[in-house]
Amino acid sequence: MDIFAKCFDPSMADQVRELGIYPYFHALESRQDTEVIMEGKRRIMLGSNNYLGLTTHPDVIEAGLEAIRQYGSGCSGSRFLNGTLQLHLELEKELADFLRKEAVVTFSTGFQSNLGIISAVVGRGDYVIMDRENHASLYDGCRLSFGKMLRFKHNDMEDLEQKLKSVPETAGCLIVTDGVFSMGGDIANLPEICRLAKKYGARVMVDDAHGLGVIGEGGRGTASFYGLEDEVDIYMGTFSKSLASLGGYMAASERVVDYVKHSSRPFIFSASITPASCATALAALRVLEAHPELPETLQHNALHMRKKLDEAHVRMRPSNGNMIPIIPIYTYEVIPTLTIAKELYDLGVYVNSSLPPATAPTECLLRTSLMATHTEALIDEAVEIIAEVLHRHQIGE
């Protein structure tokens, strides 16, 4: 049998292309901002993870340009060998200080961070216990490890405890959860997770890709939001969201970071973050430190948009974090979801479609996300368009 046969089988992508509602790979012709030019037309951007709007900040842009002038375009090697710049060490030190952890190590992408951390820490005979709605990169990190993966129902602490009870006392155990869940926009029950971890002798890792810059003191993330910075053993995060760049990181104790640096194959055998990406992430971190009001503005925007959607009788997925800038809107079935997303796009509002397997088959969503730099006027304009299209399709409360 030809291994490429699967590539020629009929697919959902083929079907939605034929219907003219294919939602992917729209080309940007401008900066990533609250309003963009996409395929020749102005669109209100409600589908970006640029939470603090720092991709266009002059200090961030200038830092990237200066790094290229000083260091060139790339490092051409692994951090393990010739690919460590003084800039990498600076970023790791400042980020560790900001997160109040002993040490940080950076990876080339956020996805790679999760592959590298979990595969290094979880060994043969160990267990890793995952929230079912964790990011795909966490699942792939588990697959790359030699440990046994167990899953607990989303934010269900009774189910988590049952899974912990099943772990042999002789086995190591890591509980892994998103801090802010990227699809639902809800927050992990970190206080109870940490309590159970302590009770059963497990360690805790939080993927805070969507928490950094969004919640917590000065945007320090989910553990800070709950006052549990000393209870979470590993923070993971990305530079591609609030920090307006590309790359990822792990923050933990100095010994754990050192172990991962010398054991993680995705870290050892990958080229380091480019000078421009490193410099822009560092500049964005400094902007966040200098402007701790940015996460508060972001949270205000989220509350404002939820209020406007509610007034317009648009049904959102329930969340335990109304201040989170990820606001999923129910559209239920796959084809109506893609049709609505296409109509919104044509009317000048860009949103993301959340489809199976990311959702249940009848619980499809439009995933909207906000920036601190959105104005209330832009939000109001977008909500009016969203409500008009949804009601035309008879989707409401």
Question: Mind telling me the catalytic residues?
Answer: 182, 210, 241
CB 118 within 8 A of CB 252: no
DSSP letter at 151?
E
Token reading at 9: 């089988």
Q: Within the chain, where are the H helices?
A: 12-19, 58-71, 86-99, 110-121, 136-144, 157-165, 190-200, 222-226, 254-263, 265-268, 275-290, 293-311, 334-346, 376-392
DSSP letter at 271?
B
Dihedral sign of CA atoms 20, 24, 30, 31 in order: positive
Q: Rounded to an integer, what distance in angstroms lies between the CA atom of residue 306 and that of residue 143?
A: 37
Q: Which of 325, 339, 320 is nearest to 367 (CA)?
A: 325
> Environment class of residue 242 by beta-carbon count within 10 Å: exposed (0-12), middle (13-18) or buried (19+)?
buried
The phi and psi torsions of 349 (rounded to 5 degrees) equal -130, 120
DSSP letter at 291?
-
